[in-house]
Amino acid sequence: MTGPQAVPGARTGGGPLAGLLVADFSRILAGPYATMLLADLGAEVVKVEGPAGDDTRSWQPPVREDVATYYLGVNRNKRSIALDLKDPGDLAAARELARRADVVVENFKTGGLARFGLDYDSVRRDNPAVVYASITGFGSQPGGASLPGYDLIVQAISGLMSLTGDPAGEPFRAGISVFDVMAGLHATIGVLSALHHRDETGRGQHVEVNLLSSALSGLVNQSSAWVAGGVVPFRMGNSHPSLFPYEPLPCADGDLIITAGNNGQFRKLVEVLGVPGLADDPRFARNEDRTANREQLRPLLVERLRTRTKLEWFRDIIGAGVPCGPINTVDQGVAFAEEVGLDPVVTVGEGAAAVPSVRNPIRFSDTPAHYRLPPPALDEHGAEIRRWLAEAAATTPEGRP
């Protein structure tokens, strides 16, 4: 394949995925998050939007200069082209893009792209080496293919909401679309694995990810409790079913998260708190003892913690090697990441078009992530991409790159 360097205006830079062209037919969160990660790592991503644009462009407030920050958060390093797939000319451009792409990512309803000749079977006829990733809500089998895949619905159906909230209260959703993000990560892993397989064999393949499977996998110990142990987990507020202390505990001026995950950490904790004898108390000597007797242990710890502020205890407890931390707001979380040297914010673009963005979390010693383009305006690169696709189709023998 000719690769992304042929896309007009493309910057051939570094990154472990430099040289790959991704046709992004996804919208909202799971797909765009996956393709942004690929773009950060060097792939050239062409974001295909309908005439009205990605739905998240209008998911506001909050906004930055009238653009939804939701959209800005998952669409950097991409070029946008608006295509109406019901228009013959636009459909031809979409098919040509898919034919030239190394990777296609889509999150239409199962079968939704077949009528346009953009489903996997259609695309692979002209592009047998394509890695084609489909993200759905509940899979492609008849029982789930017709169900709409919204993160909140999956949080409910998967059981996550039954685990979230106060034990005496109502189920709660997570504060983010956690399974959209997980599905995006799983799609990225699937794409990279399929690309490695293609390097070895020359063959592309269809990668399928669905939110419910990502959810059940992401529930880890809670889903395993049922699958392997026959135990149905239940809401415990901020408590952990298998560890104690592993939750917020009140200090003089607020709560501090303390996570003593093993016997050694618990001994260090109670030494700092000035009650070292608790580590030898047979009720609390082992983790399973502490978990079973948490209602007896908690007030003993709280009695000591209430004598000082949370930041005073934080400094001493963390200094002793016991994991702990204050409950921050998001701005405080970003500030803390800055304090510990993680440089969490990057500026993408230049001048008035520059947009602050959260840094890609993966660090490479040789091929770091690049931040080349701010999130594009709708159809910002449409004219040049259309010309490139038309020229490529006209000049390539038999329509092949």
Write the CATH number for 287.
Answer: 3.30.1540.10
Has residue 233 been placed in a domain? no
Residues 143 and 261 placed together within one structural domain of the fold: no
- Does 236 reside within a domain? no
Q: Domain check: are 255 and 314 in the same one?
A: yes
| One domain for residues 71 and 178 | yes
180 is catalytic: yes
Which residue, 298, 313, 339, sits at the end of a domain?
339
171: amino acid identity, one letter = P
| Residue spans of the chain under pLDDT 50 | 1-5, 397-401
The pLDDT value given to residue 5? 42
Select from 290, 315, 339 the last residue of a domain: 339
Residue 148: predicted pLDDT = 86
Task: Give the CA dihedral 203, 209, 214, 217, nearest 10 degrees.
Answer: -40
Percent residues over pLDDT 70 in the chain = 95
Q: Do both 372 and 332 map to the same domain?
A: no
Cα R_g (the chain), whole angstroms: 25
Residues 313 and 380 placed together within one structural domain of the fold: no
Assigned domain for 237 exists: no
pLDDT at residue 331, rounded to an integer: 97
**Given this model, what pLDDT does residue 391 score?**
85
Residue 73 lies in a domain: yes
Report the SS3 class of residue 311: helix
Q: Which two tokens stand for residue 284?
A: 């609390």
Q: At residue 224, what are phi and psi to the nearest 5 degrees?
A: -65, -30
CATH number at residue 211: 3.40.50.10540
**Do 115 and 146 have their domain in common?**
yes
Which of 323, 339, 355 marks a domain boundary? 339
Domain shared by 352 and 329, yes or no: no
Domain range for 310? 246-339
Residue 317 falls inside a structural domain: yes
Q: Which long-range contacts (CB under 8 A, 24 or more apart) does 164-172 make?
A: 164/235, 165/235, 165/237, 166/235, 166/237, 167/234, 167/235, 167/236, 167/237, 169/235, 171/235
Domain count, the chain: 2
Catalytic site residue from 24, 90, 180, 379: 180
CA dist., res. 132 & res. 361, Å (int): 25
367 lies in the same domain as 335: no
193 and 258 co-located in one domain: no
Residue 228 within any structural domain of the chain: no
User: Reduced to 3 states, what is the DSSP secondary structure of residue 79?
Assistant: strand
In a domain, 278, yes or no: yes
Whether residue 225 lies inside any domain: the answer is: no
